[in-house]
């Protein structure tokens, strides 16, 4: 990884798991890192852990609850005021397989947090991002974008019949569609910012705590073979964020069997994720639901 001294990186969900490891490595390489987290206490504990591991690290904490558009707007305003330039926005935070719940704004929790919250945050932070040459937006998707996944435009909030795997797949598919549509807009606008996506493969984090018990047992049993550490799972995001050769619109994941583990490389995504008509429809709906439009 190239030296990151002088660069500002905002990482959502950086108090644990993939986000923590992403933030720690960026700080280790010299970046000024902002841990954008829901719990300030947990964020401060994470910042202390990074500071202990990386003497002299420049790490700050920003309160951000992606399940509340009011919180997203407040956080974006504070970040834009504090940082006139942002080099990296890593949309890492997420929830998976949660019981049915709604965000503060009435959205289904997985779609509202994983996609709509990050859609709004990115749009609101676009001015300091596009003012920074070489800046990147990296959004973390999942292999799950292929599992029972489609954008249910007739029932986006799963009010008729909820299926947590399908809802998660929808949110992760939306992450990819958002990335591809955003990069297309950035290129057309001629601004020095690019959008990329990543996925961690079978990283061992606490994200899967809502999986059924038998599935959790299977994941633990197969962990040494089919999964990798949170640090290894963070490598695709780190490569998408910092590799000088990475290009806008690329999707990085583990290079091993089934993309479950291994060193990061450019990987493919579902045909549905690349459908520009669906991407544009999702973009329009996302603007309507969040009230955030992109100044491009």
Residue 227 is predicted with a pLDDT of 76
Selected catalytic residue, list 97, 162, 168, 294: 168
Rounded to 10 degrees, the C-alpha dihedral 65/141/292/123 comes to 90
What percent of the chain stands above pLDDT 90?
Answer: 89
Render pLDDT for 243-252 as a digit per residue (tens, 0 to 9): 999 999 999 9
Where residue 76 falls among pLDDT bands split at 50, 70, 90? very high
Looking at residue 208, what is its pLDDT?
55
Q: How many CA atoms lie within 13 A of 57 on its CB side?
A: 24
Q: How confident is residue 134, by pLDDT bands cut at 50, 70 and 90?
A: very high
Query: Which of the four pLDDT bands, split at 50, 70 and 90, describes residue 203?
Result: confident
- Of residues 104, 130, 142, the one with CA closest to residue 185: 130
* C-alpha span between 26 and 242 (Å, rounded): 9
Tens of pLDDT, residue by residue over 155-164, are: 999 999 999 9
**Above pLDDT 70, what percent of the chain?**
93
Catalytic site includes residue 83: no
- The pLDDT-based confidence of 137 (bands split at 50, 70, 90) is very high
Nearest alpha carbon to residue 85 among 179, 9, 191: 9
At residue 37, the pLDDT reads 98
Res. 217: pLDDT tops 70: no
């Amino acid at each position: 990884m190239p030296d990151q001294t002088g660069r500002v990186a905002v990482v959502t969900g950086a108090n644990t798991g993939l986000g923590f490891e992403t933030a720690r490595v960026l700080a280790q390489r010299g970046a000024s890192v902002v841990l954008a987290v829901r719990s300030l206490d947990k964020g401060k504990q994470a910042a202390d852990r990074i500071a202990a591991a990386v003497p002299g690290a420049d790490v700050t904490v920003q309160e951000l609850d992606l399940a509340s558009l009011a919180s997203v707007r407040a956080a974006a305003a504070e970040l834009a005021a504090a940082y006139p330039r942002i080099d990296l926005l890593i949309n890492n935070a997420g929830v998976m397989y949660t019981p049915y719940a709604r965000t503060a704004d009435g959205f289904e929790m997985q779609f509202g947090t994983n996609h709509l919250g990050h859609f709004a945050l990115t749009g609101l932070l676009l001015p300091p991002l596009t003012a920074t040459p070489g800046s990147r937006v990296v959004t973390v998707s999942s292999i799950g974008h292929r599992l029972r996944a489609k954008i249910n435009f007739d029932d986006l909030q799963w009010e008729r019949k909820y299926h947590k795997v399908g809802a998660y797949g929808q949110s992760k598919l939306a992450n990819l569609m958002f990335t591809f549509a955003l990069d297309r807009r950035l290129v057309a606008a001629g601004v020095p910012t690019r959008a990329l996506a990543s996925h961690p493969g079978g990283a061992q984090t606490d994200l899967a705590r809502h999986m059924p018990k038998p599935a959790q047992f299977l994941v633990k049993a197969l962990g040494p073979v089919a999964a990798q550490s949170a640090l290894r799972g963070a490598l695709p995001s780190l490569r998408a964020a910092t590799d000088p050769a990475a290009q806008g619109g690329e999707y990085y994941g583990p290079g091993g069997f089934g993309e479950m583990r291994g060193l990061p490389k450019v990987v493919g995504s579902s045909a549905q994720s690349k459908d520009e008509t669906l991407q544009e429809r999702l973009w329009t709906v996302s603007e309507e639901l969040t009230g955030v439009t992109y100044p491009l």
